[in-house]
């Protein structure tokens, strides 16, 4: 599931369907992250973010990253089935390029949400010579809106991530 590739797009489509089935709205932000929102007792309440990355990471293992996103969706589905709402919203987020698996910088899409991009990242090139700006545009995202992926501090209650590392080093060290 390379970031902004066909597999990434198919993954976002599937996750969006699962999010909607779980009672959330779903959207893709300007950085190519998927965000599912389960409203709280009050509309537009700050959100507890739950998630991880959805792109493939070399030697990351089948569940690396994806576990945190799917667990978030399942938790919300359980709350929705019981009619539970909270003083905060819950947002399940699936981040894009996590460990520089496509572009040579760590946590690219995560930094977009944190508002930590400086604009120079748009010129980064992947192994095939494609710039981030070109990849975003080819994926159907508006490069001029990239800063819009940033979240304000007052919109977030906290961030929780369930994550499993399955790389060969851990296995080799038993």
Report pLDDT for 166. 65
- CA separation for the pair 160, 72 (Å, rounded): 9
Q: What is the pLDDT of residues 49-77, one digit of tens each?
A: 999 989 877 766 676 788 899 999 999 99
- CA separation for the pair 56, 63 (Å, rounded): 9
- CA separation for the pair 22, 167 (Å, rounded): 30
Structural domain boundaries in the chain: 6-164
pLDDT bracket for residue 48 (50, 70, 90): very high
pLDDT bracket for residue 4 (50, 70, 90): very high
In this structure, whether the domain defined by 6-164 belongs to CATH 3.30.420.40 is answered with no
* 14: pLDDT strictly greater than 90: yes
Q: What is the pLDDT of residues 112-170, one digit of tens each?
A: 999 998 888 899 999 999 999 999 999 999 999 999 999 999 999 999 998 776 667 76
Q: Distance between alpha carbon 57 and the CA centroid of its chain, in Å?
A: 14
Q: Distance between alpha carbon 160 and the CA centroid of its chain, in Å?
A: 13
pLDDT bracket for residue 99 (50, 70, 90): confident
* 9: pLDDT strictly greater than 70: yes
Report pLDDT for 31. 94
Rounded mean pLDDT, 10-14:
96
């Amino acid at each position: 599931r390379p970031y902004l590739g066909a597999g990434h797009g198919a993954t976002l489509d599937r996750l969006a369907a699962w999010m909607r089935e779980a009672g959330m709205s779903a959207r893709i932000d300007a950085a190519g992250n998927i965000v599912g929102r389960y409203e709280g007792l009050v509309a537009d309440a700050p959100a507890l973010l739950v998630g991880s990355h959805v792109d493939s990471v070399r030697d990351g293992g089948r569940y690396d990253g994806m576990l945190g996103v799917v667990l978030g969706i399942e938790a919300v589905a359980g709350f929705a089935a019981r009619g539970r709402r909270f003083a905060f919203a819950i947002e399940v987020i699936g981040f894009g390029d996590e460990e520089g698996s496509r572009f040579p910088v760590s946590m690219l899409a995560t930094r977009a949400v944190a508002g930590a991009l400086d604009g120079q990242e748009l010129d980064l090139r992947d192994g095939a010579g494609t710039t981030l700006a070109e990849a975003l545009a080819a994926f159907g995202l508006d490069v001029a809106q990239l800063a819009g992926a940033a979240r304000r501090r007052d919109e977030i209650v906290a961030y929780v991530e369930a994550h499993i590392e399955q790389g060969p080093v851990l296995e080799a060290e038993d």
